[in-house]
Every structure is written in C-alpha cells, then in structure tokens.
Structure 1
Amino acid sequence: MNRRMFMKASMAFATLSGMSGLSTLFSQAAWAEDGIADGSAKRFDFDVLKKMAADMAKQAYGGAPAPLPETLATLTPQAYNEIQYDANHSLWNGIDNRQLDVQFFHVGMGFKRRIRMFSVDGASREAREIHFRPELFNYNNAHVDTKQLEGKTDLGFAGFRAFKKPELAKRDIVSFLGASYFRAVDETFQYGLSARGVAIDTFSNGKEEFPDFTAFWFETPKAEDTTFVVYTLLDGPSCTGAFKFTIHCEEKRVVMEVENHIYARKDIQQLGISPMTTMFSCGNNERRMCDTIHPQIHDSDRLAMWTGSGEWICRPLNNPQRLTFNAYQDENPRGFGMLQLNHDFQDYQDVIGWYNKRPSLWVEPVGKWGKGAINLMEIPTTGETLDNIVCFWQPAEAIKAGSEHSFSYKLYWSGLPPVRSGLARVNATRTGMGGFPEGWAPGEHYPNVWARRFAVDFVGGDLKAAAPKGIEPVINVTSGTLKQVEILYVEPIDGYRILFDWYPNSDSVEPVNMRLFLRTKDETLSETWLYQYFPPPPDKRKYVDDRVMTAG
C-alpha cells in the first residue's frame, strides 16, 4: 500500500456526467474582464451543492474518466514537476494588494481526475467556470506537445494550491491534490501529513475506496481578507458529498472549518470522518528501520486523544512487522490528532525531509458526534516514501444506502495542538534490552534472561509539586510480567522517567497492550500513555554476543 502514491495521484475514478445543474457546455469566448473565469454565470450556494450531491447519490457511479492526451499520460514525475502555473493568471490576480491567491495544478501523469473549477462572486452568488487552456501554464522543460492540448478546454485541472502574502506565488500554504487529499503548513512552510475528505473501507472486508473531489467553487475574498471559502463536490462508488471549507490563513498556522454532508449510494462497512494519513518509519521507540544516518524518520510521532470523558491519551506510533488495526471507543470526542511534537533538528539530521519542521494536525469536533471510535491503522513500511499510518473517526451507526450524514469540525495545522491539558505529558518513549541494571550488560554478573525495557518520560504539569507526596506509576499490561519498575528525576528535561522491564510468560507473539499514568494518592498527574508492543518469536528472545576476538 503506497500511501504517498495515493497522496500524489487520484486513485478513485469518477466522472461529472451525472452532475445535476452543471452544464457540460462551455464558452469559447475571451476571458472575462474580472479574471480567468470564462464560463456562463450560474447561481450557486451551499444549498445548491448539497442538492447536487444528493441527486448524484441516487444515480449510478460514473466510473473511470476519459483517457488523457498521450503527451500528458506519459509524463515522468520529473517532467510533470516542470509544469508551473503562470502566476500572472492566478485566480485573484486582478485584486490589488491582495492577501491571498490561488493557482491550479495541471492534469497529467497519475493525476487523471479532470476537476472543474469555478469562481463565485460573494455578493451576487454567481459562479463562472474556469476552463483549461495551455496559456495558463509555463511548460518549461516538460516537453509537452501543446498542440495535443489545443481546444481541450474540458481537461480541467488536477487540484489547486493557495498562497498568502508575503509569499504570493513563491511558497504555497494549502494544497488540494489527488483524490480527496489535502494538506496545509504552519509558519515553517513545510508540508507533512495529509488529510482526506472521507475514508471508505480502509480496514474492512471490502476494497478500500478513494473518492475524488471533482469540482471546486471559490468565493472571491476582499483584498484584505486572510480567510477564503471553497466548496467542493465529492464523488465515489459508495457515496457523494458536499463540503464547505472556511480556510483561515493565520500568521503561524492554518485553521480550516469543515462542514460536510455525506450521501450514501450503497451500504458502507466503514466510513471514516476527518481521516489523516501520515508516515512513521522509525523513532525512539521503534528503531527496526533506522539503519540510516538519521536518528528518527517520521511525519508524526503520536496519536493524541482528548476523550468525551475528559481523559488525555498519548499513543506513540509504530512501524509494525505486520499490519495492525486498533479502535479506541469513545462518545462525543473533544479532539484527536496526529502530532509531531519533537522539533529538534538534532533528533532527525535530515536536510531533505526536514522532519523537525513538519506540522501537527488536530481535529476539533463541532457539536456532538455521538458514539464511535477513533481508528488507527499502522502498515509496515521499509522507508520514508510510504505513508503507512491512517487515523479517522468511525461513527457507530450503520451507514445504509440512501442515508445522509453530516459532520462539522475544525482542523488545526500547527507545530503544537491548539489545546493542552494541565497534566504532565509524555515527552518520549524508548525501548531496548532489559533484564539487567542500567550501566551493565546482559550476562555480566546477571542471568542472561531475555526482557524488554521501556522508558517513558513525562514533563510539565505539577510533577515537582507532587514529588514530596510520592509519585506513583500505575502500569497495566495485557500479558507478561513487569519487574524493575523505577521512577527517576531527569534534570536535562526537568521531568520524570518511568523505567520498567517486561518479561514474557508465554511463547505468544500477539501484541501486548500497555497502559501507564502517574498519580499521587488523591489525584491524577499525567496523561495516559498507551502502547502496543509486539514480542519476538521465542527463538529470537536471547542476547547474542557477536564480538570476534582473536589472539594478536
């Protein structure tokens, strides 16, 4: 499962042939005086889009799109990257002293979905289509035969990206590209994990689907605005959808207010709301794939959850040896997200991926979401090119054909989540050889008994004030035995480290679920640490001395 391919290419195919209210006719006239939108004016608002999506859901799914011209279909990634949108033809280029602007991505290579784009006048609510034409792009050294594109105004676009002053036409801060994937940055201007419109049957008996965003409508902002509104239509084999994104391009982060209405074409086994896709190759806790010059490689280091009951949970991510899926039951969650909290370059040493700059993504539900579960799927990966982590909210109610479901939420793209508890938080998780005191080695004066050591660091909160009362680590595991439990104050991080060794009590290789939090006699001091450990097979539970010593 190449998640980066899904992020880079539209993998779910659909056509707009069944779109009620969207004419397939277009004007061949010159560009409109007020910008690049050259289509006929049509009334548009969110109610129009919702009706359009509802009507489409009653029709059969259109299937795969028409083939692209050969010169586009055969583009290499290098050639595709040579195609650049001409900033002089950007969507809001005609607005003086504008704070925002939008440019479009060219179709080609794996980007086969022909997405239609519309400009909406906020006052009149009239929408005009923006048709493809080669003069909107600079083809540079892509070696595209533009003669094959002449008159192909129905090619549409592959997606869009948004810019904010003072980086207009230099560095984008929001990108929608491939199926229903989108991303945003914080003040570092470094992209990281992705979000999606919906997830369909990610971990179920059915085949996973990747519905497409097939059309976008952009409300024209005022010159001074740093917020813009875009509407989009979702289409796929199992559902359609109407989305409204209100995108706030703030100084140090991007915040998206999302309202969606999902219309089921057929029964859906697993509907994922506000899905996130990220990458975890290796970190402090999982070093199996860290045989590189980089100490850590990941877009995100943990799943964070603020439950409906008020519990704060930290679940460090894994790169497991086999696909794993966990569902964390909840009711009316207060928030959850994929976080990248370690921003120290020394811990990554990466001047290509810049993982120390990657943003976190926090989901804040608006209103009551009811019962359901935060689902987490972790896929084995051999390197950083694969997005191997998926997370989303799955409502408990069954999704039946003909039903409608609505969800509202906010997405915060920032270095740190917008909310934090007053409790001590997990700073880092480390694992390694156990069964002997720190500073010694297995077999040196101690029995060579295999065990796995865990070190969980907590910082912040009221740990120092609570220390005289006695800090108690509360640890539970689903199998095995815990020994050598210690609590140490660690001055460099001004926090506390909980050390314990896990010993197996059987030959089972089933995952061991671990749970840890700190307390005094009368109060909880920390968020809850959840972890899933995969014991090695019995024949691997031994320490191997691979030293070779020869007489000189």
Structure 2
Amino acid sequence: MKKLRWLGAAVMLSLYANSVWAFSIDDVAKQAKSLAGKSYEAPKSNLPSAFRDMKYADYQQIQFNHDKAYWNKLKTPFKLEFYHQGMYFDTPVTINEVTATAVNKIKYSPDYFTFGNVKHDKDTVKDLGFAGFKVLYPINSKDKNDEIVSMLGASYFRVIGKGQVYGLSARGLAIDTALPSGEEFPRFREFWIERPQPKANWLVVYALLDSPRATGAYRFIIRPGEESKIDVQAKIYLRDKVGKLGVAPLTSMFLFGANQPSPTTNYRPEMHDSDGLSIHAGNDEWIWRPLNNPKRLAVSTYSTENPKGFGLLQRTRDFSRYEDLDDRYDLRPSAWVQPEGNWGKGRIELVEIPTNDETNDNVVAFWTPEQLPEPGKEMNYKYSILMTRDEGKLHDPKIAWVQQTRRSTGDVKQANLIRQPDGTVAFVVDFTGEEMKKMAADTPITAQASIGDNGEIVENNVRYNPVTKGWRLTLRVKVKDEKKTTDMRAALVNGDKTLSETWSYQLPANE
C-alpha cells in the first residue's frame, strides 16, 4: 500500500514537472520569430495625461499595496508586486502566470495600488495595465520580504543579493549604442512567470523582446542568495540590419572617483555604482579598465575570441571611500557576465557618456559579435550574471589584481624636498592578490608599461606596499595634446613571468 502511494506521488510529481515545462523558451521564440518577419508596430500608450506628465516625486507616491502581493496566499517564499504606469513608463506590458495546468494573464486593477495625493479618475485607469514587476524574497531575514528583482523600462532589469542595494542594471539587448545614428532601445513587451513550487529557491521568468530592428525570446532563472545569480538564455532575431548589436549589456554610473576626483568640492570622495570594467579574455588574459566620466563620448574596445567573462565591478568597498549614508555606494553589487559555450570572434565594448549628476547611467558594457546573421536567422546566447560584493573570488588567485587607481598632478622632489609640478600626470596603481601577498618584499618586480602616440612615460616605478602586502606602480606621463585621449597599459612582471592583470586606462580628453 505504501509502495502504491509512493508511485502515485511520483507520477503526480512527474506530471507537474512536465506540465510546467510544457511552456518553454521555444514558445516565446515562435512569437519572436514571427514578429521578426513582420513590420514593427510601435507600442501605443493608453496613459492619461495626468500620469504621463507627472514628476518623479508624484510617481513615487503610487505604491503597490503589499497586502495584495501576488502569491501572498501560496506556500512559496517568492511574491510578485507590480509597477504602475507613469512618467516615461507610459506603455503597458503584459504579465502572465504559468501554472501546472495553464497560462493566465495577470489582470491589472487599480485596487493593487495606493495613489497618495495623485488625483485621478478611477474610470480612466481601470484598464491601464502594468509598467513592469518586482520580485520579493526573504533574502536578508526569514521574517521579511525583500525586493530582489526589478523589471521596469525597456529591457532593463536589476537584481541584488544578500546585504546589497540596487546599483547597476542589466539589459536584454543593446542596439547601435554610441553610433551617430542614435541608439535603439528594445523593450520587453510581455512576460511569463512560472509559479514556483513551495520549496523552490529559484524563479523562472520568460520575456518577449521587441524593437524596430530586432526581436528576442528570453529565459531568466533567478537564484537569490548571498550572491544572486541569473541564468540567461536569449534567442535573438533581426528584422533588419543593425550597426552594432550589444549582447549581455550592463549599464552603470560613474560620476567621480580616485582616478578622476570631483571637479567641485564634495564631502563624498567617490560617487559611482561601478569603478571599472573587468575582462577575462579568451586567451586567458585578465584586463582591468578603470571607469571615467569623460567630457565627451568615449568608446573603448577589446577584441577577443570566445570571452570567458566580463563585468562592471565595484572594487572599492570601504565606506570611507564614499561617506554616503543615504545611497550606500559601498553596498552596490558588481555584475559578472560568464558566457556559456563559444561566442566566437567579437569584442567587448565600453561606452562612457558625460554626466553632471548621479541620476544618469552613463556607462555601458557589452559583447558585440564580429559578424551578424541575415535577418530572420536565430542567434542563441547563454550566459549567467552574478551579483556579488566579493570581487576577489572572481579572479584567478595566481594573478594579482588592481586594488585602486589614483590620479594626481605629476611632480618631482627638489633638493630642498619641496615637490614641484612638472607638467605631467601621475597615476598610482596598487596591485594585490593571494599569491602576491606570499612574495618577499625584495622580490624584483617591475612593470611592463606602454602608452599610445599621444603621450610619453617619464617615470615607471614599482615599490613594495607593506600595508596591502602588494606592489604599487607609479607612472608619470607627459600628454602631447590634451584635447585627445591618451591610452595606457601596464602589468607587473618578475622576469618573464606575468604576475598581474593588465591595467588598461584611457585618460579622457581635457576640453
């Protein structure tokens, strides 16, 4: 009798699993491929002017009623809440729930929300639709639901882990970023969210992407934890040729930091969501590129075949480097993209856009393939995104990494010990690492450094740093034309053995 009950339970479990997975990314891909063969239809806004013209402070008053969170009455640690339309979030997205037996649209109702002081006619909002959704999960305490995922606006999404606060964003796709023709922003127009099983510690979300020149089907498996991880599969179809396709794009903010201090007096020493781009190239080279806030658009490219990983990282973790009690830049996560399989030839591209304040995301990084297929042909990419505050574990422990980059006015010490500026720019770069910390202080470490045509290295000095048990590189460079960018590279070596990642920096044009 017990055996029969066990067999019956096993059959039911099998049926449940099969019925859930009966809806898959292929179902979304069919729609994406069909859309790619048709002319693009721009989304139509159904938003009343009172909501479209509202200020951010007014939009913030529209809050989801936590008591009405989706799945509130189910035995699952995951809950769903929704974003109301307003401001530039002015087109509805369709949100569906996938259960063991059906796919059902989650219907919009104004009863989900409290509107604060926002005046509105209930009849004009009764059929609006949602702008996006958020996921709640008890990541910091078993007794409290924390917002861990936000999917709102175009194809942007943000995910955090334990003890983290929102910072940089990921995107589904980037098209023609930093090209003169202007960037195209694809959007997720429909979502399908699997109802999680009671003890599941992951959530599956499907999304249909659409834009004038591309469509796509996405599957996200979100795994919350100390370091939340998102497994992504994307099937992309072009409607028409594009100038540049950005795969696995990350978007962040860099206003100022140690390598580029604030031009105005500010009690915060640094202000950024990320301070550098890290690359693990296909040839196993590690590259670190500190971020800038340039005075004009800047694009840096790193050609590589079959990249092993890249990410926008927040390596600076000490609170004293920020001193901001409200925005807590020290708690914002790094995002590390790890490709699955071979992505072929292409390049990792970094785009830096001038900004005067921290509300603008001005940094974008992505992979762009060397060749694109003809319109209608499927491109299939799989990768994971790790949201972490433990940047050290991302690297090979045998390779030292850049702990910080500081920029200063170059100077020389006179006979009377007074420092005299000499018209150079100085860079102080600290390297550290597990293996490096084991080396004797008198290890003969030097730096292989180079500079582009627009500059000259006048000092290349490496010395032991007893505080970090690493080595400090000091470069003083003479810039020929301040109206042009200046590119530099450096790595620490001991004889013919490379000890560190490659520090790759671009001094912005000064104009």
The TM-score with structure 2 as length reference comes to 0.90
Matching residue's letter, 1:345: F
**Match among 70, 85, 92 for residue 71 of structure 2:** 92
SS of corresponding position for 1:436: strand
Measure the CA separation in 1 of the matches of 2:478 and 2:325.
39
Q: In the alignment, which residue of structure 1 is the partner of 2:148?
A: 173
Instruction: Report how far residue 513 of structure 1 moved.
Output: 1.2
1:63 aligns with 2:42: yes
* % identical aligned pairs: 36
Q: In the alignment, which residue of structure 1 is the partner of 2:290?
A: 316
Query: Can you give the 5+ residue segments of structure 1 that lack an aligned partner in the other structure?
Result: 1-42, 538-552
Q: In the alignment, which residue of structure 1 is the partner of 2:14?
A: none
Instruction: Report how far residue 500 of structure 1 moved.
Output: 2.2
Measure the CA separation in 2 of the matches of 1:201 and 1:66.
25
Residue pair 2:78, 2:137 contacting (<8 A) in 1 also: yes
Q: In the alignment, which residue of structure 2 is the partner of 1:410?
A: 384
Matching residue's letter, 1:274: A
Residue pair 1:264, 1:400 contacting (<8 A) in 2 also: yes
Sort the Cα spacing of 1:499 and 1:437 in 2 relative to 1 into closer, same or farther, 3 A.
Answer: farther
1:113 aligns with 2:91: yes
1:142 aligns with 2:118: yes
Measure the CA separation in 2 of the matches of 1:244 and 1:177.
16
SS of corresponding position for 2:498: coil
Query: Can you give the 5+ residue segments of structure 2 that lack an aligned partner in the other structure?
Result: 1-21
* Deviation by residue 1:121-155 (Cα, 9 ceiling, x = unmatched): 1x33x2011111111222233333323223x2xx2
* Deviation by residue 1:331-366 (Cα, 9 ceiling, x = unmatched): 000000000011111111111211111100000001
Q: In the alignment, which residue of structure 1 is the partner of 2:464?
A: 489
Instruction: Report how far residue 64 of structure 1 moved.
Output: 3.8
**Match among 82, 105, 119 for residue 129 of structure 1:** 105
Matching residue's letter, 1:425: W
What are the within-5 Å matches in structure 2 for residues 35-434 of structure 1?
44-96=23-75, 98-121=76-99, 123-124=100-101, 126-150=102-126, 152=127, 155-165=128-138, 166=141, 170-250=145-225, 252-289=226-263, 291-417=265-391, 419-422=394-397, 423-434=399-410
Matching residue's letter, 1:454: F
Sort the Cα spacing of 1:85 and 1:536 in 2 relative to 1 into closer, same or farther, 3 A.
Answer: closer
What are the within-5 Å matches in structure 2 for residues 498-537 of structure 1?
498-504=473-479, 506-507=480-481, 509-534=483-508, 536=510
Greater shift, 83-92 or 206-215, is seen at: 83-92
Residue pair 1:282, 1:290 contacting (<8 A) in 2 also: no
Residue pair 2:295, 2:354 contacting (<8 A) in 1 also: yes
Residue pair 1:230, 1:246 contacting (<8 A) in 2 also: yes
Residue pair 1:378, 1:388 contacting (<8 A) in 2 also: yes
1:462 aligns with 2:413: no
Residue pair 2:484, 2:510 contacting (<8 A) in 1 also: no
Instruction: Report how far residue 536 of structure 1 moved.
Output: 4.5
SS of corresponding position for 2:439: helix
Greater shift, 493-502 or 288-297, is seen at: 288-297
SS of corresponding position for 2:29: helix
Q: Which has the higher strand share?
A: 2
Sort the Cα spacing of 1:440 and 1:184 in 2 relative to 1 into closer, same or farther, 3 A.
Answer: farther
Measure the CA separation in 2 of the matches of 1:343 and 1:159.
31
* Deviation by residue 1:245-266 (Cα, 9 ceiling, x = unmatched): 011012x121000000111111
* Deviation by residue 1:505-549 (Cα, 9 ceiling, x = unmatched): x44632221111111114111111001113657xxxxxxxxxxxx
The TM-score with structure 1 as length reference comes to 0.84
Matching residue's letter, 1:397: Q
Measure the CA separation in 2 of the matches of 1:380 and 1:325.
12
**Match among 412, 422, 426 for residue 453 of structure 1:** 426
Measure the CA separation in 1 of the matches of 2:348 and 2:306.
11
Residue pair 2:441, 2:464 contacting (<8 A) in 1 also: no
Matching residue's letter, 2:269: P
Instruction: Report how far residue 462 of structure 1 moved.
Output: 2.9
Measure the CA separation in 1 of the matches of 2:114 and 2:508.
51
Matching residue's letter, 1:432: S
Measure the CA separation in 2 of the matches of 1:168 and 1:289.
45
SS of corresponding position for 2:411: coil
Residue pair 1:164, 1:226 contacting (<8 A) in 2 also: no
SS of corresponding position for 1:385: coil
Measure the CA separation in 2 of the matches of 1:501 and 1:92.
59
Instruction: Report how far residue 272 of structure 1 moved.
Output: 0.3
Instruction: Report how far residue 169 of structure 1 moved.
Output: 7.3
Matching residue's letter, 2:65: D
Sort the Cα spacing of 1:173 and 1:146 in 2 relative to 1 into closer, same or farther, 3 A.
Answer: same
Measure the CA separation in 1 of the matches of 2:96 and 2:142.
24
Measure the CA separation in 2 of the matches of 1:508 and 1:81.
43
